[in-house]
Amino acid sequence: MFVRVAVCVAAALLLIAPRPSQGIALATVDADGADADIAAVASASAGPGRDVSALLDQARDALAALSHPAALDRGDPPGNAPLPIEPFSAATMPWFSGDVFEKWQVVAAQLHAEDDVLSRCREDTTNCPPAAQKFLAIVAAGRAQAGRARIGAINRAVNLAIQQTSDLKQWGVVEHWSPPLETLATGRGDCEDYAIAKFAALLAAGVTPEDVKLVIVHDSVADDGHAVAAARVDGHWLILDNRWLALVEDTELQRFAPQFVIDRTGVRSYLRALPGAVASAS
């Protein structure tokens, strides 16, 4: 199980997530009361040696977008409502510090190295490691399908290829994020390992990078941190969870409070409704 993924957020984020529930919209943010909190979040996100002012501008822009109810209202007629940029229809800002950022930096480098292994396997299947062969078979199963069926095929294949095992039991540490070939070589992993394997397989199967994400959430039912993959099909974000084979839309998962979203561009933290923003039912 993914444990305490949002520890760094507890001290840095002063924000509470707007839930992606139909009919709930945010009132205009009170800039007089919110600016200090925005500055605190931008400073926490920046990490050492980064320009806080640029992140401050991005945070303000994202929150300004949240102040328009149409941006969050999933009840708008198709074609009129803007597509949510991220799963769970919430604004985000770049994040450059903390445990999640550091672990993703390592995994991103490992994914790049594994891409080289996979490229060699495609050229010479006789010298391809078993884990790479398994991964390419999962990708091939996805490529044979289209749209939602492609997402479902990869979700199912990865879930069945890995046995749920805690990092503490497998690696002797509380948290260890594995790239896909390492996970498939052992056949074991926990939620973030499933999610990373699905993320890589979806990209390899031809899903556009803008439509593939990793999302770190707090699961209120399990009362624990959790990691899932997300894929966008026809404007809808589908959540790929290692605990079930069904594809579930983000709007149906009220149990999930999103914390971070990750893709090829890096890590982003979900922005929350600042003090002075009032939730109202329409």
pTM of the model: 0.75
pLDDT range class, residue 72, cuts 50, 70, 90: very low
Provide the residue range defining the domain that includes 222: 7-281
Q: Is 140 helix (H, G, I), strand (E, B) or coil?
A: helix
Averaged pLDDT, 202-216: 97
* Res 7: pLDDT: 37
Residue 2 belongs to a domain: no
CATH label of the domain that carries residue 14: 3.10.620.30
- Over 70: is that where the pLDDT of 163 sits? yes
Averaged pLDDT, 135-142: 97
Pick the range with the lowest mean pLDDT from 24-33, 103-112, 142-151, 181-190.
24-33
Residue 195 belongs to a domain: yes
Residue 75 belongs to a domain: yes
Return the DSSP state at 253.
Answer: -
* Res 89: pLDDT: 86
Which residues, other chains included, contact 163 with Cβ-Cβ below 8 Å and sequence gap of 6+? 187, 188, 189
Residue 1 belongs to a domain: no
Counts of helices then strands in the chain (DSSP H, E): 9, 11
Token code pair at residue 198 = 């699905």
Split into its structural domains, the chain has a count of 1
- Over 70: is that where the pLDDT of 13 sits? no
